[in-house]
């Protein structure tokens, strides 16, 4: 099977490409490499990997040769999308529309959606919960998900907030960010520390994409929250989990969060299909603590 991964050199993309190659797929990694080629070198020697430097806003040539497309390319997160709203709209929404229009009915499309657009109700959210996006990032991701859902033979995973080590690190993700600050600054400042979010390790996210492809006939034309009920944590819960491993100061100044998300996600729909994440938040914290001992500050928030 020939598989295309857009955003293949990104935080999740590089892990997914590696996993697909290990499973024997013919993989094409497509990325604009705006953060450099270093992550791709991690797997570049594999003869079943093709690497294409390409901006997702431009039409992809020979798209018809792929049996399946994983669409991960996009502007991720509240800060990056707020700083570049027009670019976020163009890449997250318009480029997705162009990609969908270029695919045939029989080609498989698996889309990287998000739980970020469930809002701040604090209640349990299922796939049927009305969308209440609180940021431009959330709005663009939902617009793109709607576009994807209109294509036959498509599948969207609404991922929990990802954490853990990847050759292309993202330091703006909560668990990664808190762990880094605990190590490097010996202090973490919490805004609205009660707010609950949900999390998934980057390795489990890659495994979920693979699960979607290998069980596509069962899952196709659906939308699924991707994560596990035991990984619903408040900000304070995350900080206290890190504190089990490293001593630092937790500060709660009582200041409002400009990107307040507060919800508990139900993952029952996907879990019943057979996918349950394996890694705990503590495992992710431990692996990052090993890395952050020598991880330099100049890379922090580099992508924003």
Tokens of 170: 């993202």
Angle at 299 between CA 295 and CA 301, to 5 degrees: 125
Q: Is residue 9 part of a domain?
A: yes
**Sign of torsion, CA 178 200 88 133?**
negative
Domain total of the chain: 1
Query: What integer pLDDT is reported at residue 295 of this predicted model?
Result: 67
Q: Is residue 297 part of a domain?
A: no
Question: Does the reported pTM lie above 0.75?
Answer: yes
Answer for the pair 259, 195: CB distance below 8 angstroms, yes or no: no
Q: Are strands 196-201 and 161-163 parallel, antiparallel or unpaired?
A: parallel
**Across 211-296, where does the E strand assignment appear?**
222-226, 232-234, 249-251, 264-265
Q: Are strands 108-114 and 68-71 parallel, antiparallel or unpaired?
A: parallel
Flag residues of the chain having pLDDT under 70: 259, 295-304
Tokens of 298: 């100049």
Q: Is residue 36 part of a domain?
A: yes
Reference 140, options 174, 106, 92, 184; nearest CA is 92
DSSP SS3 for 130: coil
Q: Is residue 154 part of a domain?
A: yes
Q: Is residue 226 part of a domain?
A: yes
- For 127-141, how does the pLDDT look when each residue is reduced to its tens digit (9 = 90+)? 999 998 878 888 999
Question: Which residues have C-beta within 8 Å of that of residue 222, sequence separation ≥ 6?
Answer: 155, 156
Residue 204 φ then ψ, to 5°:
-70, -35
Tokens of 11: 């935080």
Cα 79 to the chain's mean position, in Å?
A: 15
Q: Is residue 212 part of a domain?
A: yes
Q: Is residue 192 part of a domain?
A: no
Q: Which value, to the nearest 10 degrees, does the dihedral of the CA atoms of residues 298, 83, 226, 28 take?
A: -70
66: containing domain: 2-164+197-232+261-279
Q: Is residue 189 part of a domain?
A: no
Answer for the pair 180, 292: CB distance below 8 angstroms, yes or no: yes
139: CATH: 3.40.50.720
Query: What integer pLDDT is reported at residue 122 of this predicted model?
Result: 80
Query: What integer pLDDT is reported at residue 38 of this predicted model?
Result: 92
Reference 158, options 80, 231, 227, 69; nearest CA is 227
DSSP letters, 175-242, are HHHHHHHHHHTSEEE-SSTT-EEEEEEHHHHHHHHHHHHHTHHHHTTEEEEES-GGGEEEHHHHHHHH
């Amino acid at each position: 099977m020939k598989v295309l991964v857009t955003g293949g050199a990104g935080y999740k993309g590089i892990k997914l490409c590696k996993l697909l190659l290990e499973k024997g797929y013919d993989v094409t990694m497509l990325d604009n490499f705006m953060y450099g080629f270093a992550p791709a070198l991690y797997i570049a020697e594999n003869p079943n990997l093709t690497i294409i430097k390409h901006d997702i806003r431009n039409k992809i040539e020979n798209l018809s040769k792929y049996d399946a497309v994983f669409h991960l390319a996009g502007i991720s997160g509240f800060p990056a999308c707020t700083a570049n709203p027009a670019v976020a709209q163009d890449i997250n929404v318009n480029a997705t529309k162009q990609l969908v229009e270029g695919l045939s009915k029989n080609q498989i499309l698996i889309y990287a959606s998000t739980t970020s657009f469930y809002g701040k109700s604090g209640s349990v959210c299922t796939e049927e919960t009305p969308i209440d996006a609180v940021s431009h990032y959330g709005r663009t991701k939902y617009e793109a998900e709607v576009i994807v859902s209109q294509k036959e033979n498509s599948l969207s995973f609404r991922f929990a907030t990802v954490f853990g080590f990847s050759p292309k690190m993202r330091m703006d993700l909560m668990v990664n960010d808190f762990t880094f600050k605990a190590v490097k600054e010996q202090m973490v400042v919490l805004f609205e520390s009660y707010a609950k979010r949900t999390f998934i390790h980057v390795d489990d996210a890659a495994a979920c994409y693979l699960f979607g492809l290998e069980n596509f006939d069962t899952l196709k034309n659906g939308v699924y929250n991707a994560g596990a009920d035991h990984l619903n944590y408040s900000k304070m819960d995350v900080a206290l989990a890190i504190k089990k491993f490293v001593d630092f100061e937790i500060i709660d100044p009582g200041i409002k969060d400009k990107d307040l998300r507060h919800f508990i996600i139900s993952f029952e729909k996907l879990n019943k299909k057979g996918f349950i994440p394996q890694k705990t938040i503590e495992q992710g914290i431990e692996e990052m603590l090993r890395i952050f001992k020598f991880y330099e500050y100049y890379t922090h928030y580099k992508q924003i």
